[in-house]
Amino acid sequence: MSDNQDFSVVGKSLPRSDARIKAVGAAQYADDIFLPGMLYGKLLRSPVAHARIKSIDTSAAEALPGVKCVITGADIPKIKYGNWRLVPESQDEYALAIDKVRFIGDEVAAVAALDKDTAEEAVRLIKVEYEELPGAFSVDEALAENAPVIHDEYQQQTPNISLDRKISYGDLDRAFAEADLILDDVFTVHATSHAYMEPCSCVAEYDHDGRLTIWTSTQAPYFVQCLLALTLEMRENDIRVIKPYVGGGFGGKMEMRPWEFCAAFIARKLGRPVKFTLTREEELATGRRRHPMKIHSKVAFRKDGMILGKEFIVHLDGGAYNSMGPTACFLCGNFGAMLYNYPNYRYYGAHVYTNKPPAGAMRGFGAPQALFVAETQMNMAAEKLGLDPIDIRLMNAMETGDEIPGVATISSCGFKESLLKVAEMTDWRERRKNLKPGQGIGIGCYSFISGGVFNWFNTRYNFTRAEVRAFDDGTVHLMTMASDIGQGCDTVLRQILAEELGLKISDIRLTAADTAVTPQADLGTWGSRVTLMAGNAVRKAAQEIKEQLYKMVSLKFDLNVIHDMRCKDGKIFPANRPDRNISFGEAVRMAQRANRGEPIIGYGSYTPRNKGLVTPAFSFGAQVAECEVDRETGAIEVKYMTTAHDCGTPINPMAVEGQLEGSVHMGLGYALCEQFIMKEGKTLNTTFLDYKLACAEDMPPGVSVHIDTYEPDGPFGAKEAGEGLVSPTAPAIADAVYHATGYRCMDLPITPLKLLKGMKKI
């Protein structure tokens, strides 16, 4: 359906607009910002997992030369905050602990000093007296009878369950009664780190006119603005949040965080700029992470492989605060019913507090966990029913037009094509039968959202907006709060705008992610929302510009009928008379002259309406992993990855490819080597020496193809690319390991020890 050939800019692998500045090291990240008189901040974090704070003595820290400010929970407004503003009681965090600490790393006090060393020393001089409480360190411990109540100020139906969600449709009991095969399994999946290259950092400055500016490494400037206003008791518009270059986020930077609050609070108090930059150890020991989950999944099959129904019960180990857990809890229920048609489905998801660092949003947002389980069970069912794993998927696969009852309609879907493509590319049927001992080939699939439709932040603005100003020199200025955090939306949005207006990328100036300047609406970069949502807003803004300019062509050539007009190659002309063209700049000049010099401005916004409960558009794909297992040491080497995926129109295929490689890297770590080693709530591996990110040398070669689809709700047919792809890797590798060894992983990650135990070697 796509009309790729007609595109001039969209669908082209253009170099990223930030490639040069990053390659030469000139891009300024938050920590690169130095302001005159700037102080350095440092947080004191709780060394205990669960305790009441009895007293805090900051006198020694304050007496240390060079220390300019020490604040504790007693100094700040007693206001709780959280991203889920729609559910006020879900807002469960103070910027600094006031009553209790609930995990090792909970922020207790903050210091600002003339230099980092002094700030660090001052933090060590703060004396806190804790009354330690028993802790709960797993879902089971938190839900046990007489478990310590982690947020005892709330009335909770079940202690430590902060929030739950139910989905139910069809007649599941009947499905189980009629089933020929029922799989009934409990899986556990673990926490992993976003491991973004740039640790969190911010610089705050308070003006003489009482306004605050903060440069911060964030995915969502608007969230930071709103929640700083709430917690500092300021007006939103008196706070300016600027996103400088950001070195990755993966979901870990989409909330207002204590260091942002403390930088702003101290900057306001002292009238001096304050910088906070976290260390990698702080990030790994206390930072947000992917939700560990305990998942009980029961699936009913007919003997020919047809899915009859599924019950999906998920307990999210949320850590000490809600963070983005409610969204993960919500989405997990949707991902549990994705990819295949589940005519009967029941979901119960519960977000459980534990005395651990809070889990938050992380690439996939519930999908990697739900799909690891769903895809593993598809592979198990195929084996039990004597079917090929690809055949059983084809039989149940979603298609364009399918409906998830009451939840969503699939507006474009290249899933079956993806399955057939990977089967063909890998010679699946043959290789599945004929491999050497120790070799395995396995499959995993995914679907993902293109942004969410649920307004949990309770924004009163559009979900996203764009403003475009056109100039008579043939250039335009795009302003948007869409936040490039390394994924490339600054380039992709320029491509969309350039395509719509018939301009070149170099004709577009971009100002993005500055709450004082860019349009006051955009929820940020998460949930793969930017290309579709901000892309649609940019297109609409461009269309407003075009309407103003098209009239000028009619005027110039005295056309007496309404013509179908085109913008291309910097010119505007009737589709059937390209010779009657004027340049973009000339059209702008004429339009301004005709309207008393008023500037040519186009506004566009996008808020999904009538798009169900989840997302306007779903991506799909299939991935095959080939691995080799050392059956004595349990070492697993992934040899090759083959991917076919449907992201609609790839606006920039090279950027999509980059996303794909990054997601294989992250999925590989999730499957095999990344994990937090925890003891009683303490993270023991807090450096990259012992937190095992896959290295470049661990990356397998691979190949990927785009399945050609056109998403009607997306800009130029585009939808999500790159986030969903993190999901299929772990189930594909796990299936390949099973194929190689007979060990079926139900408990990620697949460590050599687990594998050897599974193979009865230990």
Neighbour count for residue 58 (Cβ, 10 Å): 21
Minimum CB distance to other proteins smaller for 211 or for 761: 761
Q: Print burial letters for 302-321: b (CB count within 10 Å at least 16), e (below 16).
A: eeebbbbbbbbbbbbbbbbb
Is residue 43 within 8 Å of residue 279, measured between CB atoms?
no
- Taking CB under 8 A as the rule, does residue 677 contact other proteins? yes
Structure tokens that stand for 255 in this block: 């909330």
**3-class SS at 536?**
helix
CB of 677 to other proteins, least distance (A): 4
- 636, 641, 647, 656: which one contacts other proteins (CB under 8 A)? 636
Nearest to 43 by CA among 238, 199, 219: 199
**Site string (104-133) toward other proteins, x via CB under 8 A:** ------------xx----------------
- Taking CB under 8 A as the rule, does residue 756 contact other proteins? yes
CB of 42 to other proteins, least distance (A): 11
- φ and ψ at residue 527, rounded to 5 degrees: 60, 25
Alpha carbon distances (Å) from 25 to 17, 18, 29, 513, 537: 14, 11, 10, 21, 32
- Taking CB under 8 A as the rule, does residue 751 contact other proteins? yes
- 439, 698, 708, 759: which one contacts other proteins (CB under 8 A)? 698
Structure tokens that stand for 614 in this block: 């989840």
Q: Say which amino acid occupies 244.
A: P
Give the span between the Cα atoms of 718 and 528, in whole angstroms. 11
- Calculate the dihedral angle through the C-alpha atoms of 432, 434, 439, 445, rounding to the nearest 10 degrees: -10
Minimum CB distance to other proteins smaller for 235 or for 757: 757
**Site string (278-317) toward other proteins, x via CB under 8 A:** -x--------------------------------------
Piece in contact with other proteins (CB under 8 A), picked from 334-342, 406-414, 454-462, 745-753:
745-753
Neighbour count for residue 429 (Cβ, 10 Å): 13
Minimum CB distance to other proteins smaller for 498 or for 672: 672
Whether omega for the bond prior to residue 15 falls within 30 degrees of 0, making it cis, is no
Piece in contact with other proteins (CB under 8 A), picked from 18-26, 154-162, 677-685, 734-742:
677-685
CB of 753 to other proteins, least distance (A): 4
**3-class SS at 565?**
strand
Give the span between the Cα atoms of 576 and 192, in whole angstroms. 57
CB of 137 to other proteins, least distance (A): 17
Cα 217 off chain centre by = 15
- Taking CB under 8 A as the rule, does residue 238 contact other proteins? no
Is residue 221 within 8 Å of residue 513, measured between CB atoms?
yes
Name, in order, each residue with C-beta under 8 angstroms of 743's C-beta and a sequence gap of 6 or more: 737, 750, 754, 755, 758, 759
**3-class SS at 520?**
coil
**3-class SS at 268?**
helix
Interface with other proteins: number of residues (CB under 8 A): 27
- 690, 703, 712, 747: which one contacts other proteins (CB under 8 A)? 690
CB of 745 to other proteins, least distance (A): 16
Nearest to 477 by CA among 505, 501, 516, 510: 510
Minimum CB distance to other proteins smaller for 292 or for 621: 292
Is residue 619 within 8 Å of residue 724, measured between CB atoms?
yes
DSSP annotation of 138 reads S
Minimum CB distance to other proteins smaller for 17 or for 192: 192
Nearest to 49 by CA among 90, 103, 98, 93: 103
- 86, 594, 684, 703: which one contacts other proteins (CB under 8 A)? 684
Minimum CB distance to other proteins smaller for 612 or for 700: 700
Nearest to 106 by CA among 352, 277, 285, 289: 285
**Of all residues in the chain, what percent are helix, strand and coil, respectively (each to 5)?**
30, 25, 45
Minimum CB distance to other proteins smaller for 396 or for 685: 685
Name, in order, each residue with C-beta under 8 angstroms of 757's C-beta and a sequence gap of 6 or more: none
Minimum CB distance to other proteins smaller for 248 or for 700: 700
Minimum CB distance to other proteins smaller for 396 or for 751: 751
Piece in contact with other proteins (CB under 8 A), picked from 83-91, 179-187, 702-710, 747-755:
747-755
Piece in contact with other proteins (CB under 8 A), picked from 138-146, 303-311, 536-544, 629-637:
629-637
- 12, 165, 556, 761: which one contacts other proteins (CB under 8 A)? 761
**Site string (385-424) toward other proteins, x via CB under 8 A:** ----------------------------------------
CB of 695 to other proteins, least distance (A): 4
- Taking CB under 8 A as the rule, does residue 197 contact other proteins? no
The C-alpha angle 448, 450, 453, rounded to 5 degrees, equals 110
Structure tokens that stand for 705 in this block: 């193809």
Minimum CB distance to other proteins smaller for 279 or for 341: 279
Give the span between the Cα atoms of 152 and 137, in whole angstroms. 17
- Taking CB under 8 A as the rule, does residue 753 contact other proteins? yes
CB of 632 to other proteins, least distance (A): 5
In the range 637-676, which residues lie near other proteins by CB under 8 A? 637, 672-673
Give residue for tokens 């010119």: 571
Minimum CB distance to other proteins smaller for 488 or for 634: 634
Minimum CB distance to other proteins smaller for 78 or for 757: 757
- Taking CB under 8 A as the rule, does residue 685 contact other proteins? yes
Structure tokens that stand for 171 in this block: 């007649």
Minimum CB distance to other proteins smaller for 12 or for 754: 754
- 520, 692, 708, 744: which one contacts other proteins (CB under 8 A)? 692
- Taking CB under 8 A as the rule, does residue 633 contact other proteins? yes
Please report, for the chain, how many H helices and E strands are present, in that order.
Answer: 19, 30
Minimum CB distance to other proteins smaller for 61 or for 512: 61
Minimum CB distance to other proteins smaller for 435 or for 756: 756
Positions that interact with other proteins (CB under 8 A) = 116-117, 279, 632-637, 672-673, 677, 684-685, 689-690, 692, 694-695, 697-698, 751-753, 756, 761-762
